[in-house]
Chain A
Amino acid sequence: MNTVLILLPLILTILFSLATVPILVWMERRVAALIQDRLGPNRCHINGIRLGGIIQSIADMMKLVFKEEFLPSHIKNKFYYLVAPSIAFMSAFLTFMVIPYADNITINDKTYYMQALPTDLGVLWFLAFAGLGVYGIILGGWASHNKYAILGSMRATAQVIGYEVAMGLSLVSMLITYGTISLNEMVTYQSQSFFIIPAWGIVIQPIATIIFIITAFAETNRAPFDAAEGESEIVAGYHTEYGAMKFGLYFVAEYIAMAASGALIVTIFLGGYQLPYLNTADLINNFELVLWLIIAFAVVTSLMFLKWMKSHNIYNTSGLDEKKVYATLIIGFTAFAILLMSYYALGFGHASAVGVMILQFAIFTVKLFFLHFVFIWVRWTLPRFRYDQTQKLGWNILLPLSLANIFITAIVVVGVNYGN
């Protein structure tokens, strides 16, 4: 139990960053397709099982892994050229280490942290590694010895310098509000509510939220701030000279960086793993009631999903009958989960702390995937900002706005705490 609880956040970090990449690629393509009135990938299958198209992104990853690694002969600094994608990948991956996936859990008077790196300096760690991720892009663009690549990496550099300032300043205003730099304490702060409104970061600091979300888009080089790869202008930007898994690492790094930014936005602004009005103690005390609600929710959603699948999974592939397999799996899994949950809900066993922890993982995952959806949704809505517009937005609007926000926040916080 001891080892499991210590290793759990590490495993979750790997799951949330690496294992979600195929799902994110699939989401990106499917959401894009549906937004543009298309269908998206739905053919690739393993013995008839398509998983709605996820197999396609697994096939794409396999292709990238097994493709021939070649080195363009004009590249002089081979070491930098080869190390650049790993820097982008590593820093995106390490950013995830400080995100709290659930509240600290106390079992037998011993407290376990649900962060892969149980540090109080979470925000600083995030800023450091999110900034470092761009070094991979800059180094890759420079070492590629290619005009398009260097243009792309120059754009990325200028953009990151402009936006990192505003990002840091918007975080400073959040730190003043919460009075802590520990990410877990920030989430705990957000479990309280002012009158009837939950005290989520998005409610108490809407301007900082908007600034942080905009800068997070710029920091991860996602559309509408993807000038670094601007394929209509500079071929592919910084990864023009990269192929096979070297490109694959950049590709994965972008998605992991997006996931990490999304996780930090969830943690700081969207209440982290908390449900509104319900803090961890409330959940543990009313665990039976929560379980019955989850059981009802599971039944309704799985029935709705089965009905939806019946009308949408139209084309049969060769091999197994996909619809039957899914229906069996869903019904079986739901029945198993309901049996397990009702065992605890009827009071035969006591595992409320672990149960709440699992529930908080689930809440965090749902919020994170909502954020991923927003990232994808924005990408397929907005056109790319022109380079000078990006700079103007960063320096002329976001920077003064975040400074003003800090100023107002500080006044309010000092004023509120004056009497105490």
Chain B
Amino acid sequence: MGIKVVERHGNTFKEKLYLPAIFAGMKSTLKHFTKNLSDASNIPTICYPEEKPTDITPRYRGVHRLTHREEDDSIACVACFMCATACPANCIEIVATFRDDGVDEKMPAIFNIDLLECVFCGYCVEACPCDAIRMDSGIYSVIGKVREDFIYNKAKLLSIKGISKEEYSLAK
């Protein structure tokens, strides 16, 4: 790598006149203006409630969901508390209980996520050893009238469907 000499601009008479450059800039903005005025369909703005965003991918971190086991459709979570430990916002509340059906040893009796506390960092998904919690629901608007509406419990989290093809937990 040799020494790169950067060309200095703004010293010629034409550049010091400013006006040619200003008119060039105005021409460029006018081009945008006339193009958008004659055909508004090129404008990338989304008129939100009527038009929905089209760029929600499976990797988009939306509202959490709890996955099911492929064999018997039961909850995949084993109440290991990894997600609650990883959570920087401390928004996950888990109460563990014994599992009597022989599928596994433990499962959560209560699994609450306070979405008002949640920062949607995705650490819980990273921490989960069972692929039991995911954020691939694609839900970006969480609506409620009282604060309690934003605390999603186990049943609610289990009922949310993902937008990726992998519907069940991939953990073995």
Contact = CB atoms under 8 A, between A and B. Distances in A.
Interface stretch (A319-327, A332-340, A376-384): A376-384
Given A210-B19, A315-B50, A38 B29 contact: no
The secondary-structure label for the interface of chain B is helix
Nearest to B34: A34
A34 B36 contact: yes
Contact of A315 (B22, B44, B47): B47
Contacts of A210: 19
Contact of A37 (B22, B30, B44, B50): B44
A210 B36 CA distance: 29
Contacts of A37: 32, 36, 42-45
Contacts of B22: 378, 381-382
Interface string B9-48: 0000000000100100110111011001100101111010
A380 B43 contact: no
Interface in A362-392: 377-378, 380-382
A39 interface: yes
A203 B50 CA distance: 50
B33 A377 contact: yes
Nearest to A383: B25
What does DSSP make chain A's interface, helix, strand, loop or mixed?
loop
Contacts, number: 41
Given A315-B47, A315-B50, A382-B25, A377 B40 contact: no
A312 B37 CA distance: 9
Contacts of B45: 37-39
Contact of A34 (B26, B32, B47): B32
Given A31-B33, A377-B30, A380-B29, A39 B19 contact: no
A34 B26 CA distance: 13
Nearest to A313: B40
A381 B28 CA distance: 9
A220 B160 CA distance: 57
A378 B25 CA distance: 9
Contacts of B44: 37
B50 A34 contact: no
Please name the 7 residue pairs, one residue from A and one from B, whose CB atoms are nearest each other, closest first. A34-B36, A39-B45, A381-B29, A35-B29, A381-B25, A34-B33, A381-B26
Interface of B: 19, 22, 25-26, 28-30, 32-33, 36-37, 40, 42-45, 47, 50
Given A31-B33, A315-B47, A377-B29, 20 more contacts: A34-B32, A34-B33, A34-B37, A35-B29, A35-B32, A35-B33, A35-B36, A37-B42, A37-B43, A38-B43, A39-B43, A39-B45, A39-B47, A312-B40, A314-B40, A377-B30, A377-B33, A378-B26, A381-B25, A382-B22
